[in-house]
Structure 1
Amino acid sequence: MIVDCAIYRDGQRAEGHEDLSDALADARAAGGFVWIGLHRPSEAEFDRVAQEFGLHPLAVEDALKAHQRPKLETYEDSLFLVLKPVVYEPRSDTVSSGEVMIFLGDSFVVTVRHGEGAPLQAVRHRLEREPDLLAEGPTAVLYAIADATVDHYLEVAAELQNDLEELETEVFLPEGGGSRHTASRIYAYKRQVLEFRRATGPLTLPLNRLADPGPFGTVPFVDDKARPFFRDVHDHVTRVNESVEALDRLVSDILSAHLAQMTVRQNDDMRKISGWAAMAAVPTMITGIYGMNFAHMPELHWEWSYPALIVLMAVLEVLLYRLFKRRGWL
């Protein structure tokens, strides 16, 4: 569905026409551009937009199917950029990603949103409060969406860092190892980091191309004066990727530490069990010997044999207990 349609002239908003071709014609006549925002459009709805703005069929197919990696593609009549905004849910400690597809032409911007994580409404309101920036044309919209998306990455990375610190504290509790559910929490956290990486990692190359075309040549429909701004966004996403890499390495180290603690705890338990078993074996052996039905056992006819054996077993038990205790087995 079409969420918003507006024409922008010299940074000022004017409501768009219901007929998209009329809106585009008015925008071109006034030296402005038209910005159309769509949310989960149907194939029929998007075909209408694609025909009016001459969007490439391959890019249209990607926009309808979604589930794309961040990428930048250039076509004869438009530029196609895919971003993956992320949302952090503090109650469930989960990261989910949406998608924003941006079609950029000489006098139009078409944004297609999938999921709930796209900051497009806030970006539009921000640009409308900054007419000087909006007057730069479609490039300003492209920059503002990319900048808002990457800035939100930084917020999510900070939230994940806080969660990791709590998880680290739980693993390294004084009693050691955390609860029996700690391993599952660590694996779940690692999956959230992986989901985050899928959104941030592939974005480096498209932003680098916008900031510095290099051997690829000039990016069409993007004002060269905007390169420093895209370079700033590229620096931010690089910092995010470094944070994600650090989180991933640290969570792997925490998992290894947790498994090592579990192994040490199991070994300690086995040592204690072995110690108690050894203490139980001494009286079992003695009583087993005197449970055999031999005719010639001198101790059987001794008056103090029973209390003597009880005292012997007690002394041996005390000696074994002190020995195991001194060595830390009990």
Structure 2
Amino acid sequence: MSMVGNLRKVANLARRTRHRRVDLSHPARSPLGASVVNCVVYRDGVRTPSTGGSVQEAVRHARKHRGGFVWLGLHEPGEEEFAGVADLFGLHPLAVEDAVHAHQRPKIEQYGEVLFAVFKTVTYVEHTELTATSEVVDTGEIMVFTGPDFVVTVRHGRHGSLGPLRENLEAHPDLLAKGPSAVLHAIADHVVDDYVTVTDAVQNDIDQVETDVFSPHSPRSADAGRTYQLKRELLELKRAVVPLARPLDRIATEPRACVDKEIQAYFRDVADHLTRVTEQINAFDALLDSILQAHLAQVTVAQNEDMRKITAWAAIIAVPTMVCGVYGMNFDHMPELRWTFGYPLVLTVIATVCLVLHRNFKRNGWL
């Protein structure tokens, strides 16, 4: 099987198994600290036996053999705990600060021989019904330090576990044999594939809102609230996706010593997928603007229709009001007051005029 086939297979397997969680409650799984998910040494793409749980021992073991590297995974480490890791791998202080405190803009920066990448992870929040307060997109972060013989991943958030991705990569030692850059590519591909999945799910919500806006039975106030909420959630997704485009393009086109040449070519595939997601998000944003404008236009039309009805009824009511106002004046000399047919005649005239007005307003669409 070709390398590109293996890369896509790893990504597909990761998507199918990402619901699995790494158990950190057992002491044997986290002997290095509360934030450490795993620490594994790979040599020629094959996982080596346990080194006793010491990060220092794992690094020594990886550097002792050519073609080996260590992959250290952490989840929301503290400053004190991560300081030792930073000293061990010689990580730049600025990158260390970003990795510990999170809430960073997606980027890929190089510090000497070390690449530091920040990826925003996203997941779709399932909901039975979209409301004006529904959470649609939840975000987290993955920071990746890639060096000549190590990969350090720092994850923030409730989702985005890399356990299934690690297992799937281990099933393809020919990829891991390419070194840390293969792990960086797999993570980037994994994150961007999540963008595609979430974007497709958000499209269903937008389609539902669009259908409801043009439905005569939909409450107008609810449509406006849901549209605004979707725009807010889409903005959060946009902040995660759009800033990553330029860094991915640079890593796919600019030669770097820490990125294998064969692996670098496959970053272009990831960049293409990201471009598709970016275009989709921009289209969704424009569509939501159009839906909101259509909703506001419908509200305006409905208000105009109500005003026309009120005006028409006011004109009809004005006829008996005027006649009654005339006959309500206390004049002694009014010929019709003592006429036998005066009262029924006035009622007949009022009814006739009101019916004529009602018919004309109805014909013109005012009632």
The TM-score bracket by the shorter chain reads over 0.9
Give the secondary-structure state (helix, strand or coil) at the position aligned to 1:84.
strand
Match of 2:279 among 208, 217, 242: 242
* Cα distance between partner residues in 2 of 1:143 and 1:154: 16
Single out whichever of 253-262 and 28-37 deviates more from structure 2: 28-37
* Cα distance between partner residues in 2 of 1:178 and 1:225: 56
Query: Where in structure 2 are the equivalents of 1:213-292 lying within 5 Å?
Result: 213=254, 218-292=255-329
1:327 and 2:361 are equivalent in the alignment: no
1:168 and 2:204 are equivalent in the alignment: no
- Which residue number in structure 2 is paired with residue 125 of structure 1? 167
Query: Where in structure 2 are the equivalents of 1:54-203 lying within 5 Å?
Result: 54-91=90-127, 92-173=134-215, 175=216, 178-203=219-244
* Cα distance between partner residues in 2 of 1:157 and 1:246: 11
Gaps of 5+ in 2: 1-34, 128-133
Shift of 1:137: 1.0
Give 2:41's aligned amino acid: I
Shift of 1:93: 5.0
* Cα distance between partner residues in 2 of 1:122 and 1:273: 65
Shift of 1:122: 2.1
Report if aligned partners of 1:157, 1:243 keep a CA contact under 8 Å in 2.
Answer: yes
Match of 1:21 among 56, 61, 69: 56
* Cα distance between partner residues in 2 of 1:46 and 1:239: 36
Deviations 1:179-212 (A, max 9, x none): 3211010000001110111011000011101110
Report if aligned partners of 1:119, 1:145 keep a CA contact under 8 Å in 2.
Answer: no
Report if aligned partners of 1:73, 1:81 keep a CA contact under 8 Å in 2.
Answer: yes
* Cα distance between partner residues in 2 of 1:123 and 1:97: 19
- Which residue number in structure 1 is paired with residue 13 of structure 2? none
* Cα distance between partner residues in 1 of 2:161 and 2:45: 20
Query: Where in structure 2 are the equivalents of 1:274-313 lying within 5 Å?
Result: 274-313=311-350
Match of 1:51 among 75, 87, 90: 87
Gaps of 5+ in 1: none
* Cα distance between partner residues in 2 of 1:125 and 1:16: 18
* Cα distance between partner residues in 2 of 1:192 and 1:230: 28
Give the secondary-structure state (helix, strand or coil) at the position aligned to 2:105.
coil
Match of 1:8 among 35, 38, 42: 42
* Cα distance between partner residues in 2 of 1:280 and 1:190: 46
Deviations 1:118-177 (A, max 9, x none): 24122111101111111111011000000010011111110111111111000011x276
Q: Between the two proteins, what is the percent identity of the paired residues? A: 52
Shift of 1:48: 1.1
Shift of 1:178: 4.5
TM-score by length of 2: 0.86
- Which residue number in structure 1 is paired with residue 28 of structure 2? none
Report if aligned partners of 2:178, 2:263 keep a CA contact under 8 Å in 1.
Answer: no
1:35 and 2:71 are equivalent in the alignment: yes
Number of residues of Structure 1 aligned to a counterpart in Structure 2: 325
Shift of 1:297: 1.1
Shift of 1:28: 1.3
* Cα distance between partner residues in 1 of 2:70 and 2:176: 12
* Cα distance between partner residues in 2 of 1:273 and 1:176: 22
Give the secondary-structure state (helix, strand or coil) at the position aligned to 2:220.
coil
TM-score by length of 1: 0.96
Shift of 1:17: 4.0
Report if aligned partners of 1:134, 1:140 keep a CA contact under 8 Å in 2.
Answer: yes
* Cα distance between partner residues in 2 of 1:273 and 1:64: 63
* Cα distance between partner residues in 2 of 1:236 and 1:29: 38
Runs of 4+ in 1 over 3 A off after TM superposition: 176-179
Give 1:299's aligned amino acid: E
